């Protein structure tokens, strides 16, 4: 049994003049929300063994605020996660270390939301109809290796909506 955690970055600031989308940072409220999310994760016992994080500034900041500098330093930042579709995110998960029991993916909408909806039963539960900034979803997945991860096979453990 594997545990898959899917996290949309926390609320961001609009792009400043001349700033790229990838360089956008968290808004002050996003920083606070990510810190609260970290407390929630610790309370729920969510300690992912592997973290795949989009290299965008806002996803990195969300990870640091939620799980701390050590987790961020150990995370992997594949360029392919920036703007990735659900299928691309699923492929990234399938390529994760097969020995890891838990995996966190920190990414962007619409891909991360689409993957959260794809992993569980159909139709998706009401909790997955919106995917606000800072939303964290957890699935128990009945596989022995990440390579075997498939759509519609996860059991939804929780969806922390990130809503204010």
From 3.30.830.10, 3.40.50.1240, 3.20.20.70, 3.40.50.280, which CATH number describes the 2-11+22-160 domain? 3.40.50.1240
Q: Mean pLDDT of all residues in the chain?
A: 94
Rounded Cα distance between 158 and 127, Å, is 9
pLDDT in tens, 63-78: 999 999 999 999 999 9
Match 């729920």 to its residue by tokens. 44
What value, to the nearest 5°, has the Cα angle with vertex 126 and ends 125 and 128?
75
Rounded Cα distance between 12 and 15, Å, is 9
Give residue 164's pLDDT. 55
Give the count of beta carbons closer than 10 Å to the beta carbon of residue 154.
Answer: 24
pTM, 2 dp: 0.96
pLDDT in tens, 94-135: 999 999 999 999 999 999 999 999 999 888 888 888 899 999
């Amino acid at each position: 049994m594997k545990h898959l955690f899917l996290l949309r970055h926390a609320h961001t600031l609009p792009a400043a003049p001349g700033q790229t989308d990838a360089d956008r940072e968290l808004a002050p409220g996003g920083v606070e929300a990510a810190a609260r999310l970290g407390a929630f994760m610790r309370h729920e016992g969510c300690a992912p063994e592997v973290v795949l994080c989009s290299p965008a500034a806002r996803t990195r900041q969300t990870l640091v605020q939620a799980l701390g500098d050590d987790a961020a330093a150990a995370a992997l930042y594949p360029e392919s996660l920036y703007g990735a579709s659900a299928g691309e995110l699923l492929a990234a998960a399938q390529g994760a270390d097969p020995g890891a029991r838990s995996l966190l993916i920190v990414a962007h909408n619409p891909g991360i939301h689409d993957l959260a909806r794809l992993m569980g039963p159909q139709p998706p539960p009401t909790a997955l109809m919106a995917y606000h900034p800072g939303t964290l979803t957890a699935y128990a997945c009945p596989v022995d290796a990440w390579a075997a991860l498939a759509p519609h096979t996860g059991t939804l453990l929780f969806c922390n909506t990130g809503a204010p």
